[in-house]
């Protein structure tokens, strides 16, 4: 016995009961329409009050979960040694070694120290350490403790600066000695406390956990995005007062990237949502030729979006970089849900039906497909929860909340408004250009299914070929336009100062005073040669800095400042004595490169900002090479922002495999269950998977990389594209059940449902198309790719889906 005649009776019975319940709901809405309206608006206002409390998280370290091994090592490193991210304010005066400039620099430096919150240290030519010997005495003082007063003192000052490699290594002097930099290091911790317990868990760092390195003793939270914004705004405020033609300033590095991304977000999100509303309002007017439907759609989408972010704030879900897409996404699905109800409602009013009867018919016809699409869209978004990238998982959670909230507003609040707001019906016009176009699609796809399916197979093969060129990327700086002030500054600092990105090597000797052994320092020094070797073959490495530099400086100073003694002492007792002298000199620089027990050292390599796709293979090759040079040590860890950015590349690949795979595993059985047919459910997946293959192929063909944003396009498109499939196949099965053969059922479905599908696809592509208004490349890419995927899904829904339905149901029709 065929599936079409016997396999779906239970499903039809369930479907009928749900539709009857939705019909009854229309009458309840009529009775309590005012109460529903007041309660929903009041609830929206209450939830909206929580939106300003939502935390914004844009820092690069927040790309990974706190329990990610790479993130754990990085957090422990920050706890032990401080920030690795340093902001450099680059200054290019006509002449560095000029008394007037040095006085301006000192004033600028002092204002930064006085006005910056959460400040760890400001370092410039004013206070960078100057190590030299005076007789038998070791002197470690601020470089400009005594400002030069005449030409001879200024010349001596210039000679000292130019002959001290440390100043170039640390970004105080540019590599060409024509610019100077002011280093701003912010505090690791802010004012907040770690959430979820009295103490942070101790971190397992493979040999680095002890009383000095574990974080079990602190409750303080790392510097938040809001606190970081206060630091950056203070820097800008001070810089604005001091900048002049002969004191030009450019700022880059450190947490500036986080600030600029957050700042751009505050500009883009209102622009996307407002632009999307305007474009969709125009399409709504074209479709309905009425103002009331526009008001209804906006009256549903805006409050639902506010409620979504209010709930997210209550659940302590932060607003991260990918969350910028959520307002456009909610706008698109909210209008889509509303259009399906309003189209039938207004058509029935135009035919003279009563308002409640029109609402009942609209809910019976479209209510169940809307519920089904909400469920499948949520399933697609739930796939984000398994992504190893924290912002993507958080976006998935907020988006699922948004879908549920939008369903509530569409099926509860919208019906109440439809009964309250006066509006005239609009009788359906037959024989329009849209009707003729849809009829043509139906005729070609239903009557020539073989060629349609064959063409689709060729399209998939071409997409697979294109997707072989895909590559991942993790380079937030490249998201900015080439002329953006931050990117200009970042590229200048990369070129002239060697960059601000850090590769941090932490070495544990496993014993107290292990770093006072000449042999151990010699091993650490040997890494310098390794860095130079990589630099010679093209690696974007600039300079290294470690305890070795302090040991060499001190030894030279204590030997009449003779450059020939810029070396590590051979004698252990002499090395220990000289390091003790430096430690007692009053300088705090030792704290940045070694722990109090001299058992663990920090070795820093500065590099130009590098895409994680290139940093990843370098780190994998560099780590064992460095380990071989270090020899028999207790342990070591390679960390820093470079390691985090590199890890995000792996996380991108993991995310696409997990998320796309889970989305397929969740949506396919749901489609089969909701549609009530194995064949129809499997058929429905074809027009939803092929657009994903096409999108990946397009990315590979035109060189758009996989990153934290573009990998979202596929899962979002899957979640949205199934909506059209559900509506089309539900209509097809309804007409099939009424006795039409598959070809006639396709034609009838195209005329009754095709118009709504066309319009909702236009709404969805428009909702994501507004992302191309952004000057940020990552958002522009998502807008283009998601719009392309949704547009392709519609074309496949009106061509391939009908062809497959005819092919899979033709046998049943012949048996009948």
Q: Find the angle CA(61)-CA(63)-CA(64) to the nearest 5 degrees.
A: 80
- Better pLDDT: 390 or 107: 107
Ranking 461-465, 638-642, 684-688 by mean pLDDT, the lowest is: 684-688
What pLDDT does 810 receive? 65
The per-residue b/e assignment along 414-439, b for 16 or more CB within 10 angstroms, e otherwise, is bbbbbbeeebebbebeeeeeebeebe
49-63, 107-121, 657-671, 731-745: which has the minimum mean pLDDT?
657-671
| Strand partners of residue 137 | 134
Pairs from 136-143 (Cβ < 8 Å, separation ≥ 24) = 136/558, 138/554, 138/557, 138/558, 138/578, 138/581, 138/582, 138/585, 139/557, 139/585, 140/582, 140/585, 140/586, 140/587
Please tell me the predicted confidence (pLDDT) of residue 699. 92
Query: Binning pLDDT at 50, 70 and 90, where does residue 304 land?
Result: very high
Digit-coded pLDDT (tens) for 709-727: 887 777 677 767 777 777 7
pLDDT for 347: 85
Residue 222 CA to residue 224 CA, distance in Å, equals 6
Residue 19 CA to chain centroid, in angstroms? 40
pLDDT digits (tens, 9 = 90+) for 149-184: 899 999 999 998 998 888 998 889 998 889 999 999
Query: pLDDT-based confidence at 199, cuts 50/70/90?
Result: very low
Q: Are 401 and 305 in contact (CB under 8 A)?
A: no
Q: What is the DSSP letter of 173?
A: B
pLDDT above 90 covers a percentage of the chain that reads 42
Residues 6+ apart with CB under 8 A from 397: 312, 315, 317, 384, 385
* Average pLDDT over the chain, rounded to an integer: 86
* pLDDT higher than threshold 90 for residue 138: yes
Convert the pLDDT of each residue in 347-365 to its tens digit. 888 888 899 999 999 999 8
| Predicted local distance difference test score (pLDDT) of residue 246 | 93
- In the predicted model, is pLDDT for residue 302 greater than 90? yes
Angle at 694 between CA 688 and CA 699, to 5 degrees: 130
Most confident of 34-38, 690-694, 748-752: 34-38
**In this structure, how many other beta carbons lie within 10 angstroms of the beta carbon of residue 461?**
12
Closest alpha carbon to 681 in 599, 804, 500: 804
**pLDDT, mean of residues 383-395:** 86
Cα distances from 777 to residues 485, 644, 697, 707, in angstroms, run 15, 22, 19, 11
The model's pLDDT over 424-438, given as tens digits with 9 standing for 90+, comes to: 766 556 667 777 888
The one-character DSSP state at 64 is B
Judged against a pLDDT cut of 50, whether residue 546 lies above it is answered with: yes
Q: Which residues of 763-796 are buried (b: 16+ CB within 10 A; e: fewer)?
A: bbbbbbbbbeebebbbbbbbbbbbbbbbbbbbeb
Q: Using an 8 Å Cβ cutoff, are 543 and 604 in contact? A: no
- Confidence band of 697 (pLDDT split at 50, 70, 90): very high
pLDDT at 67 over 70: yes
pLDDT for 573-608, tens place per residue?
Answer: 999 999 999 999 888 889 999 999 999 999 999 988
490, 252 contact by CB (below 8 A): yes
DSSP string, 556-590: HHTTTT-GGG-S--S-HHHHHHHHHHHHTTT--TH
Burial 660-681 (b: 16+ CB within 10 A, else e): bebbbebbbebbbebbbbebbb
Tens of pLDDT, residue by residue over 211-254, are 444 444 446 788 888 888 899 999 999 999 999 999 999 999 87
Per-residue pLDDT, averaged over 374-394, amounts to 84
pLDDT digits (tens, 9 = 90+) for 729-766: 777 877 887 888 888 888 888 877 787 788 878 877 88
H-assigned helices in 177-224: none
pLDDT tens for 395-417 read 889 999 999 999 999 999 999 99
Q: Are 669 and 352 in contact (CB under 8 A)?
A: no
CA distance 548 to 527: 11
Mean pLDDT, to the nearest integer, of 3-26? 71
List the beta bridge partners of residue 603. Answer: 505
């Amino acid at each position: 016995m065929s599936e079409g005649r016997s396999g779906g009776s239970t499903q039809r019975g369930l479907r009928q009961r749900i539709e009857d319940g939705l019909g009854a709901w229309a009458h309840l809405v009529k009775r309590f329409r005012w109460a529903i309206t007041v309660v929903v608006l009041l609830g929206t206002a209450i939830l909206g009050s929580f939106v300003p409390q939502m935390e914004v998280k844009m820092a690069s370290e927040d790309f990974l979960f706190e329990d990610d091994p790479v993130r754990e090592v990085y957090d422990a490193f920050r706890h032990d040694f401080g920030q690795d991210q340093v902001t450099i304010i680059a200054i290019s005066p006509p002449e560095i070694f000029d008394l007037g400039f040095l006085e301006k620099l000192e004033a600028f430096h002092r204002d930064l120290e006085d006005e910056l919150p959460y400040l760890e240290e400001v370092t410039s030519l004013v206070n960078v350490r100057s190590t030299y010997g005076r007789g038998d005495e070791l002197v470690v003082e601020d470089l400009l403790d005594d400002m030069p007063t005449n030409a001879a003192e200024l010349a001596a000052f210039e000679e000292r600066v130019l002959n001290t490699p440390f100043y170039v290594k640390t970004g105080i002097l540019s590599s060409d000695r024509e610019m100077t930099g002011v280093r701003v290091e912010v505090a690791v911790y802010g004012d907040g406390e770690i959430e979820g317990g009295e103490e942070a868990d101790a971190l397992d760092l493979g040999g680095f956990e002890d009383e000095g390195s574990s974080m079990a003793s602190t409750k303080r939270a790392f510097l938040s995005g809001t606190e970081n914004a206060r630091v950056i705004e203070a820097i800008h405020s001070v810089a604005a007062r001091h900048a002049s033609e002969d004191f030009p300033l450019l700022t880059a590095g450190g947490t500036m990237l986080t600030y600029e991304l957050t700042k751009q977000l505050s500009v883009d999100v209102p622009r996307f949502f407002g632009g999307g509303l305007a474009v969709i309002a125009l399409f709504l007017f074209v479709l309905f030729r009425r103002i009331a439907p526009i008001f209804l759609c906006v009256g549903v989408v805006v409050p639902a979006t506010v409620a979504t972010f209010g709930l997210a704030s209550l659940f302590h879900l932060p607003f991260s970089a990918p969350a910028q897409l959520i307002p456009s996404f909610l706008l698109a699905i909210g209008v889509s849900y509303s259009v399906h109800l309003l189209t039938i409602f207004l058509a029935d009013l135009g035919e003279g039906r009563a308002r409640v009867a029109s609402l009942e018919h609209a809910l019976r016809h479209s209510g169940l497909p809307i519920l089904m699409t909400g469920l499948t869209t949520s399933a697609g978004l739930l796939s984000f929860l398994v992504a190893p990238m924290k912002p993507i998982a958080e976006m998935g959670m907020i988006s699922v909340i948004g879908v549920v909230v939008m369903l509530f507003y569409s099926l509860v609040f919208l019906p109440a408004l439809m009964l309250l707001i006066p509006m005239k019906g609009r009788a359906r016009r037959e024989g329009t250009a849209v009707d003729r176009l849809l009829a043509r699609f139906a005729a070609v796809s239903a009557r020539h299914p073989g060629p349609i399916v064959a063409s689709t197979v060729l399209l998939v093969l071409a997409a697979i070929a294109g997707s072989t060129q895909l590559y991942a990327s993790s380079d937030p700086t490249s998201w900015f336009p080439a002329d953006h002030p931050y990117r200009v500054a970042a590229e200048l600092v990369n070129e002239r100062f060697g960059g601000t990105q850090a590769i941090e090597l932490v070495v544990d000797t496993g014993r107290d005073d292990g770093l006072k052994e000449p042999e151990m320092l010699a091993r650490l020094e040997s890494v310098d040669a390794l860095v130079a070797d990589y630099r010679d073959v093209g690696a974007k490495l600039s300079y290294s800095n470690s305890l070795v530099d302090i040991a060499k400086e001190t030894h030279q100073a204590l030997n009449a400042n003779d450059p020939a003694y810029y070396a590590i002492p051979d004698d252990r007792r002499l090395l220990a004595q000289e390091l003790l002298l430096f430690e007692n000199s009053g300088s705090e620089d030792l704290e940045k490169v070694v722990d109090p027990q001299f058992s663990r050292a920090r070795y820093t390599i500065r590099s130009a900002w590098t895409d994680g796709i290139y940093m990843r293979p370098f780190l994998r090759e560099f780590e064992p090479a460095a380990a071989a040079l270090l020899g028999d040590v207790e342990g070591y860890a390679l960390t820093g922002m470079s390691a985090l950015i590199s890890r995000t590349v792996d996380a991108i690949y993991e995310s696409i495999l997990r998320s796309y795979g889970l989305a397929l595993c969740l949506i396919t059985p749901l489609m089969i269950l909701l549609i009530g047919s194995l064949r129809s459910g499997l058929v429905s997946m074809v027009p939803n998977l092929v657009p994903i293959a096409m999108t990946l192929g397009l990315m590979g063909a035109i060189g758009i990389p996989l990153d934290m944003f573009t990998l979202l396009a596929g899962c979002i498109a899957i979640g949205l594209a199934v909506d059209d499939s559900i509506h089309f196949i539900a209509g097809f099965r309804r007409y099939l059940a009424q006795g039409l053969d598959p070809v006639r059922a396709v034609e009838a479905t195209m005329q009754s449902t095709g118009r709504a599908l066309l319009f909702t696809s236009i709404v969805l592509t428009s909702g994501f198309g507004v992302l191309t208004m952004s000057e940020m490349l990552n958002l522009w890419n998502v807008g283009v790719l998601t719009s392309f995927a949704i547009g392709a899904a519609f074309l496949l829904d009106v061509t391939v889906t009908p062809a497959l339905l005819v092919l899979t149901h033709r046998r049943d029709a012949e048996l009948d």
